[in-house]
Structures are given as C-alpha cells and as structure tokens.
Amino acid sequence: MKIAQELRTGNVFMWGPPGKSQEALVVLKTEYSRSGRQGAVVKMKYKNLLNGAGGEWVFSADDKLDQVILDKKEAEYSYFDGTNYVFMNMATGEQYELSAENMGSALNYLQDGMQVEVTLYNDAPLSVELPTTVVREIVYTEPAVKGDTSSGKVLKAARINDNEEFTIMVPLFCNIGEKIEIDTRTDEYKSRAK
C-alpha cells in the first residue's frame, strides 16, 4: 500500500472511480500541487493495463492505493507470426505473444534471438523491457560535410534498421557500416562499439 504522492511514472496500482470495480492501472504522469485551503493533491494520468484505456483523476496526496508488483520473465525473441511478436522462455518453454501496440518503441531495436524481460500481469504478457544498452550497425547516414564542426558537438541522423522514421543522432565521425552502442531508454548514442 502506498499513498498517492509516492507513486511515480511506471508504477502500477489498483483503483477504480467510485461505483466501479478496481482495475490495474499504470501511472503515465503525476503532478503534485499544494494549495492553502484544500491541502495537497496529486493529479494523475494513467492507463489501464489490460485494455489500454486512459484516464485522469485528482487524488488527495494521502489517499492510500494498492501498488501492484508485476512479474518479469527472461525470454528470447523468436518470430513475428503476422499479428503478434512471439517470445520464448528458454528455461520453461513458455511462449508469450505481444501485439505491436504493446511492444511500443521496443520494435525499433528488436532482433532475432534478442534477450528481453517480458512483463506479466495475471500471467498475461503486457510489455517487454529491453537491455539498457544495445549494439547496432548504422545502415544509413549522410556523409559529414567539411566545416560542420564549427559549433561544439554536432550530430547527424543515422538509421539502424529499415524504419525510415526512426533515427538516432550520432557524431559526425560515424559512418555506414559502423557499430554503435545505444541507450534504449533514451534512444541516444553512447559510443562506438568495441
């Protein structure tokens, strides 16, 4: 049990508006505010874990909410079946299927055989957590132009897969075919791969 002001982005809690049943919700954003007369409140945006419906509610800062601890399992990406992405728990042989919607930005880094953590709620897979750092090869980037380095740290866009809309900003010295380390939480270049 936690009070509303202790919940942070990514936490999962059980709650339902008055007159409705409780559901598992994930915190998307919280805003704490304190006014003289009313006392402290927390304005919270959330999303339903099972059906994806979003909502917003204002809690008193000391409202008690049941926090849910999600189960995480190590798994390996196996294949795309045309609808879902299939992951295999190599220790138990269990398979987990996730839709593209539940995969989110993880699709930008997904490769065959990649090790991930599958997040489960009531044995239903909800999402995947990637390693914090991955190594990928640059498949396309513009060549550096002489004179571009006049103002400090200059970056250029580079693609690491066939998705033309997803780019990573890399230093000018990075070229096509080079392997780089990327922080998957921020989509930022870390260094050249060794």
Summarised one tens digit per residue, pLDDT across range 102-124 is 787 888 899 999 999 998 888 88
Is it true that domain 71-131 has CATH number 2.40.50.140? yes
**Could you tell me the pLDDT band of residue 146, with boundaries at 50, 70 and 90?**
low
**Could you tell me the pLDDT band of residue 152, with boundaries at 50, 70 and 90?**
low
- Give the CATH class of 134-192: mainly beta
Q: Is the pLDDT of residue 85 over 90?
A: yes
Asked, colleague to colleague, whether 71-131 and 134-192 share their fold, the answer is yes
Q: Where are the domains of the chain?
A: 2-68, 71-131, 134-192
Helix (H, G, I), strand (E, B) or coil at 104: helix
Torsion of the alpha carbons at 171, 176, 182 and 188, rounded to the nearest 10? 40
Is it true that domain 2-68 has CATH number 2.30.30.30? yes
Amino acid letter for position 85: Y
* Backbone dihedral angles phi then psi of residue 61, each to the nearest 5 degrees: -60, -25
Helix (H, G, I), strand (E, B) or coil at 87: strand
Model pTM score: 0.67
